[in-house]
Amino acid sequence: MKKLLVILILCSTFSLYGQKFKGLALTPPMGWNSWNNFACNVNENLIRETADAMVSSGMKDAGYIYINIDDCWHGERDSLGFIQADPQRFPSGMKALADYIHSLGLKFGLYSDAGWKTCGGRNGSRGYEYQDALQYAKWGVDYLKYDWCNTEGLKAHGAYLTIRDALYKAGRPIVLSICEWGNDKPWEWAKDIGHLWRTTGDIINCFDCVHDHGTWKSWGVMQILDKQDGLRQFAGPDHWNDPDMMEVGNGMTAGEDRAHFSMWCMLAAPLIAGNDIRNMTQETRDILTNKEAISINQDSLGIQGFKFLKYGDDIEIWLKPMSNDGWAMCFLNRGLNERKISYNFKDHIFQDAGRYIDFNNHKFTVYDVWAKKESGTTEKNYIFQIPSHDVVLLKLTLNKSR
Ligand code: GLA
């Protein structure tokens, strides 16, 4: 009995150092990251201006709170081994930058790598995990994206456990974004380690293509979407599949951006903008800040959507169960031609998350998210045009009076 007690006490003591910070991402994190548009060209002016724009553009009000610096902010380690910011790019230092971001009511994110060098060749965290975590805590970091380049000889599960424990020990609640590209199936082991995990290699600003770089590939929006197949069961509040940061506003057409954004909402994906939000068009801003689309992404049930039906090669219908018995529904046109659709709700049963909806017995009000208007009910055929590479995104609200 005494032995058992000792073991129990030891276990609970050690678990103090072996947890993730819970409850930091009950809905998918929303913010901005420098990589997709700026790559290594980061400096403190860009980050301050971006934080300002986050507020003035209405993105903060729409829910985007993280300002995350990706690769290439790093300088050298000091004589004790503590990582420093690049003094040319960040002359005021990371603490001052974090303070500024916090003063705007936003949160601050940084990037590191489990290997000895980041993907961009800067200092990685290998061998310095606990010291780096201390430094981040001291600076006021709220979010850490942790990459997987130059990790020869490391196992992903162990490496991410180490940084999780280091962050926990340092004592400042920090969202941990696991970025090992899905290589080692993090959805199977990372629920208690990180708050989100990348499911694929890097995204590019292309709707439907693959770029082959020789030793690695980057993927278009549709390619990444297809790679989410079979992963929805692993996601939920505080542990999300991450199909990568968004390319909205980075060169695709408005329809493609709308489709990309809508699908990320349907997937309950982290919504991390990757464009220059200081200089975005009204069209881009309207997409990123569409409140109804965001409410689909941020629904408190946190159920990832799924592909429900296919019409030919081009049209897919996706569903996402929502709170209050609601559903989000997205018609995606992957093809090159506009399509006319006449959809009869009564022809198909919606079944998921313990629900069974036969539209002969249930009536829902239909709201068109991009047209921003109510569009009748599920009693009648839903007839509409859907342009190439675009979506029609609907929210269905149960009409309880029936
Ligand atoms: C990897 C990541 C990207 C980005 C770059 C930075 O490719 O997957 O998201 O962080 O590294 O070098």
* Residue-level pLDDT at 401: 60
Q: Which two tokens stand for residue 353?
A: 């998350």
- Measured distance CA(194)–CA(241) in Å, rounded: 11
What are the distances in angstroms from CA 262 to CA 198, 244, 329, 369?
A: 19, 14, 10, 9
User: Is 62 inside a domain boundary?
Assistant: yes
For residue 147, the CA-to-ligand 1 centroid distance in Å is: 7
pLDDT at residue 344, as a whole number:
98
Cβ contacts of residue 222 below 8 Å, gap of 6+? 207, 208, 334
Q: Is the dihedral of CA 131, 133, 134, 140 positive or negative?
A: positive
One domain for residues 79 and 133: yes
Query: What spacing in Å lies between the alpha carbon of 219 and ligand 1's midpoint?
Result: 13
Residues 87 and 173 in one domain: yes
Probe target for ligand 1 pocket from 35, 183, 215, 246, with the most ligand atoms within 8 Å of CB:
35
**176 and 321 together in one domain:** no
196 within 8 A of 28, measured Cβ to Cβ? yes
User: Left if phi > 0, otherwise alpha if psi is -120 to 50, otherwise beta: which for 268?
Assistant: left
Supply the residue whose CA is at minimum distance from atom 4 of ligand 1: 35
Tell me if 17 is assigned to some domain. no
Task: Give the nearest ligand 1 atom to 181 CA.
Answer: 8
Residue at a domain's end among 297, 321, 349: 297
- Which amino acid residue places its CA nearest to atom 1 of ligand 1? 119
- The Å distance, Cα 242 to ligand 1 centre, comes to 13
Residue span of the structural domain in which 330 resides? 306-398
Residue 126 sits in a domain of what CATH number?
3.20.20.70
Alpha carbon distance 135, 160 (integer Å): 18
Q: How far apart are CA 36 and CA 250, in angstroms?
A: 8
pLDDT at 13: 46
Ligand 1 surroundings by CB, under 6 angstroms: 35, 70-71, 118-120, 147, 179, 202
Q: Report the nearest atom of ligand 1 relative to the CA of 198.
A: 8
In a domain, residue 366? The reply is yes
Catalytic residue among 70, 132, 142, 202: 202
Residues of the chain with pLDDT under 50: 1, 8, 10-14, 402
Cβ neighbours of residue 12 closer than 8 Å, sequence gap 6 or more: none
The residue whose CA has the least distance to atom 8 of ligand 1 is 202
* Domain co-membership, 344 together with 380: yes
Span 97-129, pLDDT tens digits: 999 999 999 999 999 999 999 999 999 999 999
> Which of 110, 146, 179 gets mutated to test ligand 1 (max ligand atoms within 8 A of its CB)?
179
13 lies in a domain? Answer: no
Nearest atom in ligand 1 to the alpha carbon of residue 70 is 10
Assess whether 35 and 57 both reside in one domain: yes
Q: What is the pLDDT of residue 2?
A: 56
Based on the domain organization, do 329 and 284 belong to the same domain?
no
Tokens of 273: 């903008």
Domain CATH number, residue 321: 2.60.40.1180
Which residue, 264, 297, 330, sits at the end of a domain?
297
Is 382 part of any domain?
Answer: yes
Q: Is 120 exposed, middle or buried (0-12, 13-18, 19+ CB in 10 A)?
A: middle
Nearest CA to ligand 1 atom 3: 202
Shortest-distance atom of ligand 1 to CA 145? 10
Residue 381 and residue 376: Cα distance in Å, rounded? 10
Is 147 part of the annotated catalytic residue set?
Answer: yes
- Among the listed residues 70, 132, 147, 244, the single catalytic one is 147
Cα 47 to ligand 1 centre (Å): 18
Note the pLDDT of residue 36.
98
| 217 and 134 within one domain | yes
**Is 118 a domain residue?**
yes
Residue 52 falls within a domain, yes or no? yes
The total of structural domains in the chain comes to 2
- Ligand 1 center–CA 120 separation, angstroms: 8
Closest by Cα among 309, 305, 386 to 352: 305
Residues 242 and 343 in one domain: no
Cα dihedral 109, 113, 116, 121 sign: negative
Does residue 71 fall inside a structural domain? yes
Name the token pair of 50.
């971006």
Which DSSP helix (H) or strand (E) runs through 351? strand 349-352
On whether both 325 and 201 belong to a single domain, the answer is no
Distance CA 73, CA 158 (A): 26
For the chain, state the CA radius of gyration: 22
pTM for the whole structure? 0.96
Same-domain status, 223 and 266: yes
d(CA 304, CA 82): 39
| 79 and 180 share one domain | yes
Give the Å distance between the CA of 161 and the centre of ligand 1: 20
Tell me the per-residue pLDDT of 311-352, one tens digit each, with 9 for 90 and over.
Answer: 988 999 999 999 999 999 999 999 999 999 999 999 999 999
Q: Could you tell me if 314 and 280 lie in one domain?
A: no
Atom of ligand 1 nearest to the CA of 118: 12
Q: Which amino acid is at 104?
A: L
Q: How far is the CA of 261 from the centre of ligand 1 (A)?
A: 20
Q: Where among 297, 324, 343 does a domain terminate?
A: 297
Alpha-carbon distances, residue 156 vs 148, 194, 197 (angstroms):
8, 12, 12
Tokens of 395: 């929210």
Q: Where are the alpha helices (DSSP H) in 16-106?
A: 35-38, 44-56, 59-62, 93-103
Category of 357 on φ-ψ map: left (φ > 0), alpha (ψ -120 to 50) or beta = beta
Task: Take residue 135 and report the two structure tokens written for it.
Answer: 């430094």
Amino acid sitting at position 281: T
